[in-house]
């Protein structure tokens, strides 16, 4: 198992290197650059920048260098100094911007992800075991509704209901009196209260999808020969359920970790804007609009790393669940 994990980790290195090249190329694709975007904003405000001013600004920011040279400097600073560049929009290092928002982003994303799996797996098992029951129809219908409802619409509906029932739309992650207050138990409770709507909105579509996958996989496994044999030997239904079909049905669920990590981060952008959440989604959106290349590039690289990390975690968990996988990898 250890050799399998080491081989998988070594494969990550060249993948990440190739991703960094693609990411830096992608952020250079839109026409113009930060300077031209900044000049357009200044023009709207009535302050016109001359061509000489724009060229001077490009030279100051290092945007007049060839793309490959900019990439080489960016990667050298990342590898040698942990410096991901300078955010033009925020006028501070990229790491400072990311640190400012990353804590709450991780809280929202990880709680949403936990919500997905902790709800989807038991509900999927229930729907399979109680196939065609009232509960199965109810959860199946709810799953289709969850997959079909846009995040922003659900967010607006839940905010309206919260305001109607409790007099508070629960915008943001903190009430006004706790927004800039030091951490305390009251502030923590206030955060938990404000997390309800974002977690439901961000996690619902993924939960609905995972319920359908878990149900389908369980139905395929419930009548396999090993399950029938276990019943013939007199094992209890509960022991049979969790020892054979559930473990086998978890394989496709575990394999979704790779895209679940990134989909929760990126899928929360519109929700974050609607709910006024102080997380990375709106920051990334504004960086792309303003062509803040180092902030946008770092965030895209982080998304790619999450995908690679999620895939690595999925591979390790799959190898743990199914020894045949690591045996096949060892032989290849």
Asked if residue 92 is part of any domain, the answer here is no
Quick check: is 49 in a domain? Answer: no
Note whether residue 34 is domain-resident: no
Residue with tokens 């990440």: 16
State the average pLDDT over residues 321-329: 59
276-315, pLDDT tens digit by residue? 888 888 888 888 888 888 898 888 888 888 878 877 777 7
**Residue 246 domain-assigned?**
yes
Q: Domain tally for the chain?
A: 1
Please tell me the distance from the alpha carbon of residue 135 to that of residue 207, in angstroms, as a whole number.
Answer: 16
Decide if 54 is inside a domain: no
Positive or negative, the CA dihedral 160, 161, 166, 170 is: negative
Coil, helix or strand for 92?
Answer: strand
Alpha helices in 84-148, H assignment, sequence order: 94-129, 134-148
User: Is 147 part of a structural domain of the chain?
Assistant: yes
Beta bridge partners of 87: 92
Q: Which domain holds residue 167?
A: 102-290
- pLDDT level of residue 327 (50, 70, 90 thresholds): low
pLDDT band for 321, please (50, 70, 90 cuts).
Answer: low
43 inside domain: no
Residue written as token pair 């990375």: 280
Instruction: Summarize pLDDT for 215-260 with one digit per residue, the tens.
Output: 988 998 888 888 888 888 888 888 888 888 888 888 778 777 666 6
CATH number for the domain spanning 116: value is 1.10.3720.10
The conformation of residue 177, written as its DSSP 8-state character, comes to T
d(CA 299, CA 288): 10
Would the pTM count as exceeding 0.85? no
Q: What is the predicted pLDDT for the residue at 133? A: 92
In a domain? residue 134: yes
């Amino acid at each position: 198992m250890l050799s399998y994990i080491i081989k998988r980790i070594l494969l990550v290195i060249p993948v990440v290197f190739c991703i960094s090249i693609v990411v830096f190329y992608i952020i250079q694709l839109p026409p113009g650059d930060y300077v031209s975007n900044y000049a357009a904003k200044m023009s709207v405000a009535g302050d016109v920048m001359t061509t000489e001013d724009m060229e001077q600004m490009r030279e100051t920011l290092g945007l007049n260098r060839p793309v490959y040279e900019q990439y080489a400097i960016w990667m050298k600073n990342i590898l040698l100094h942990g410096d991901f560049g300078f955010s033009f929009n925020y006028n501070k290092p990229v790491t400072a911007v990311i640190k400012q928002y990353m804590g709450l982003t991780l809280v929202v994303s990880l709680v949403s992800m936990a919500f997905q799996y902790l709800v989807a797996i038991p509900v999927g098992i229930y729907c399979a075991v109680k196939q065609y029951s009232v509960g199965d129809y109810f959860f199946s219908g709810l799953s289709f509704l969850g997959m079909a409802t846009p995040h922003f619409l659900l967010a607006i509906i839940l905010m309206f209901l919260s305001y109607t029932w409790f007099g508070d739309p629960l915008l943001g992650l903190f009430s006004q009196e706790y927004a800039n207050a030091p951490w305390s138990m009251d502030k923590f409770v206030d955060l938990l209260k404000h997390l309800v709507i974002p977690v439901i909105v961000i996690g619902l579509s993924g939960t609905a999808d995972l319920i359908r996958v878990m149900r389908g996989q369980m139905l395929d496994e419930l009548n396999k020969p090993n399950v029938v044999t276990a019943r013939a030997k007199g094992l209890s239904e509960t022991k049979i359920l969790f020892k054979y079909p559930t473990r086998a049905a978890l394989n496709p669920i575990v394999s979704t970790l790779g895209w679940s990590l990134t989909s929760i981060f990126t899928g929360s952008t519109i929700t974050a804007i609607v709910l006024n959440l102080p997380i990375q989604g709106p920051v990334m959106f504004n960086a792309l609009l303003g062509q803040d290349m180092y902030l946008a590039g770092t965030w895209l690289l982080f998304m790619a790393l999450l995908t690679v990390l999620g895939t690595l975690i999925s591979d390790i968990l799959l190898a743990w669940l199914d020894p045949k996988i690591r045996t096949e990898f060892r032989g290849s």
